[in-house]
């Protein structure tokens, strides 16, 4: 499968390339990205020389620096001169960080190895006009896709690769958490941040590597795993795939590369086209290896009785909300049993899992308004997430909630246009819908198309739908719209969540003022 993005460096990320883990340095273009940073962290923790470039400081890049990764705060061809100069520790130090970032902790500089030209690692988002990429080409550096690094690492472990259109991050994070709590000590590479290991990656001493298998660019076909999981298959990433058939074909290739495959029978495409050896389902009569009954979906979590091959394993509690997350839990149960864990150990671990960052993440509660951040951006994800959030409006939830306010930033013109009709039906569980403009993710607008187009169509189905053309306008609208008792659910894969702190700060101040007035009148 070849990506259809014009100008993308790694035009065919499905082509395998060898990676040298013997000591040759790695240099990541865009090292602060969620997927790239996880790989950089693992390599650095393994004692390999790692550097990278990025455009902004974050807690992710700071963590990398603290673990020995050199970061250049631009994507400049001069960054690669570092490897030509073979610097000493003294001369390399100024290159580690820009003067404007001097207050940040700087790790020990790299000492250039005998082979100085680095392996340059890029993602599908890096384009051919990137100056640093062009310099790497001119120098003759090996240029590899990030999936090459993951595939190389997986070849050194008993790999557990989690694939699917939806649910990858939660499922892989949950499996990683389970194996950590069970003292299996895995290495982990996921697309979200998890409190259990304080980030998006972990290096363990055990034989297992838990990793997400990314279908967005087709690169999951490179992974050869001892255990593969497919949570579901739907058409998405229409910038890369022309049809559902192409998506299915990619997952079929991934399935053939896995020694043992686990899949969800509740997805018709998995059931019909994949036929995994180990299966799971939320329906007791599905014939799946793992099923549930006696299920209670609540605003504070989910309880279910778990069955394995027609025999009861026991009851299980999870803090995760909604049927889609119970399905993810079943995938984790299947993996736990496959690696030899008893059910009580599995149940205890799952009960302590708080979720991954940006997956129904509670950001704060001020003036009796609960602020939640979620990554959902596909119509199916939006429906599942809103349904789960709605559980918190049911009777008996403390404090009581009255309205679900969905704040959504559409992601990519290609996705928004491809699923426009589906988006119009995705918000029925919300009481109020606020849409921002579309986050382009580097795509050009194909015409007179904006978030307002989506908002008008949703408004044909629901009463309270508002459009705000900028993040500033969204913030202002929220300050006028939110009321005590609301759940403010921020949805999208772009930068909408950046406004959450400032909106919370306004309502925190209101809460403090009200509290002060109450104390004065008491």
- Residue 11: CB atoms within 10 Å: 14
Overall average pLDDT of the 55-79 stretch = 93
pLDDT at residue number 515 = 78
Alpha-carbon gap, residue 419 to 407, rounded angstroms: 18
Whether the pLDDT of residue 88 is over 90: the answer is no
> How far is CA 471 from its chain centroid?
22
Task: Specify the residue for token string 């499968």.
Answer: 1
Alpha-carbon gap, residue 144 to 21, rounded angstroms: 13
Task: Specify the residue for token string 């890096």.
Answer: 126
Lowest-confidence pick of 78-82, 296-300, 487-491, 505-509: 78-82
Q: Report CA-CA distances (Å) from 318 to 212, 288, 296.
A: 21, 21, 11
426: confidence class by pLDDT, cuts 50, 70, 90 = very high
Helix axes 323-338, 168-181, angle to 10 degrees: 40
Whether the pLDDT of residue 107 is over 50: the answer is no
Whether the pLDDT of residue 30 is over 70: the answer is yes
Tell which residue, 424, 411, 433, 409, has the closest CA to residue 488: 433
Say if CB 70 and CB 110 are below 8 A apart.
yes
Question: Which domains does the chain possess?
Answer: 26-145 (3.40.50.720), 155-351 (3.40.1190.10), 361-513 (3.90.190.20)
Alpha-carbon gap, residue 40 to 43, rounded angstroms: 5
Return the beta strands (E) in 354-418 as ranges: 361-366, 369-374, 403-408
Overall average pLDDT of the 491-498 stretch = 95
Whether the pLDDT of residue 110 is over 70: the answer is no
pLDDT at residue number 84 = 64
**Tens of pLDDT along 228-257?**
999 999 999 988 899 999 999 999 999 999
**Tens of pLDDT along 386-410?**
999 999 998 777 788 899 999 999 9
12: confidence class by pLDDT, cuts 50, 70, 90 = low
Whether the pLDDT of residue 143 is over 70: the answer is yes
**Tens of pLDDT along 335-383?**
999 999 999 999 999 999 999 999 999 999 999 999 999 999 999 999 9
* Dihedral, 197, 201, 203, 204 alpha carbons, nearest 10: 50
pLDDT at residue number 522 = 60
92: confidence class by pLDDT, cuts 50, 70, 90 = very low
Whether the pLDDT of residue 219 is over 50: the answer is yes
> What percentage of the chain reaches a pLDDT higher than 90?
79
pLDDT at residue number 105 = 35
**Tens of pLDDT along 252-290?**
999 999 999 999 999 999 999 998 999 999 999 999 999
């Amino acid at each position: 499968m070849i990506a259809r993005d014009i100008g993308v460096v790694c035009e065919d990320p499905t082509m395998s390339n060898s990676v040298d883990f013997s000591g040759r340095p790695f240099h990541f273009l865009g090292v602060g990205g969620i997927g790239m940073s996880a790989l950089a962290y693992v390599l650095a923790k393994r004692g390999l020389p790692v550097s990278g470039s990025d455009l902004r400081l974050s807690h992710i890049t700071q963590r990398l620096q603290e673990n020995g990764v050199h970061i250049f705060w631009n994507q400049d061809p001069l960054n690669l001169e570092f490897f030509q100069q073979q610097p000493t520790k003294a001369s390399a130090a100024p290159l580690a960080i820009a003067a404007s970032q001097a207050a940040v902790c700087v790790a020990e500089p790299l000492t250039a190895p005998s082979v100085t030209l680095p392996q340059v690692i890029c993602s599908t988002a890096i384009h051919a006009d990137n100056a640093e990429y062009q310099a790497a080409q001119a120098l003759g550096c090996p240029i590899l896709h990030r999936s090459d690094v993951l595939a190389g690492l997986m070849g050194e472990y008993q790999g557990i690769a989690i694939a699917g259109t939806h649910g990858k991050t939660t499922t892989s994070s949950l499996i990683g958490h389970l194996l950590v709590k069970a003292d299996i000590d895995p290495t982990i590479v996921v697309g979200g941040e998890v409190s259990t290991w304080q980030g998006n990656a972990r290096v363990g001493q055990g034989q297992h590597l838990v990793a997400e298998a990314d279908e967005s660019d087709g690169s999951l076909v490179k992974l050869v795993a001892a255990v593969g999981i497919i949570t579901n298959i739907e058409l998405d990433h229409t910038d890369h795939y022309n049809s559902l058939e192409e998506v299915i074909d990619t997952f079929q290739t991934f399935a053939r590369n896995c020694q043992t495959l686990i899949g969800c029978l509740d997805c018709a495409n998995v059931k019909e086209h994949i036929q995994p050896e180990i299966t799971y389902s939320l329906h007791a009569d599905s014939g799946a290896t793992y099923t549930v009954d006696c299920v209670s979906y609540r605003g504070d979590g989910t309880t279910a009785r778990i069955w394995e091959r027609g025999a009861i394993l026991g009851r299980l509690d999870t803090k995760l909300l909604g049927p889609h997350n119970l399905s993810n839990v079943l995938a984790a149960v299947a993996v736990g049993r496959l690696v030899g864990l008893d059910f009580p150990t599995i149940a205890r671990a799952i009960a302590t899992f708080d979720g991954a960052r940006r997956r129904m993440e509670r950001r704060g509660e001020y003036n009796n308004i609960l602020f939640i951040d979620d990554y959902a951006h596909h119509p199916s994800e939006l429906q599942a997430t809103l349904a789960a959030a709605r559980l918190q409006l049911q009777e008996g939830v403390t404090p009581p909630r009255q309205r679900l306010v969905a704040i959504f930033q559409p992601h990519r013109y290609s996705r928004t246009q491809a699923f426009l009709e589906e988006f119009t039906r995705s918000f029925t569980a919300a009481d109020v819908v606020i849409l921002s403009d579309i986050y382009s993710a580097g795509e050009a607008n194909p015409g007179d198309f904006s978030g307002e187009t989506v908002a008008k169509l949703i408004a044909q189905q629901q009463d309270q739908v508002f459009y705000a053309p900028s993040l500033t306008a969204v913030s202002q609208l929220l300050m006028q719209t939110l009321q005590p008792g609301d759940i403010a659910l921020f949805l999208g894969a772009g930068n909408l969540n950046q406004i959450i702190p400032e909106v919370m700060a306004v309502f925190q101040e209101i809460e403090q003022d009200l509290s002060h007035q109450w104390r004065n009148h008491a």
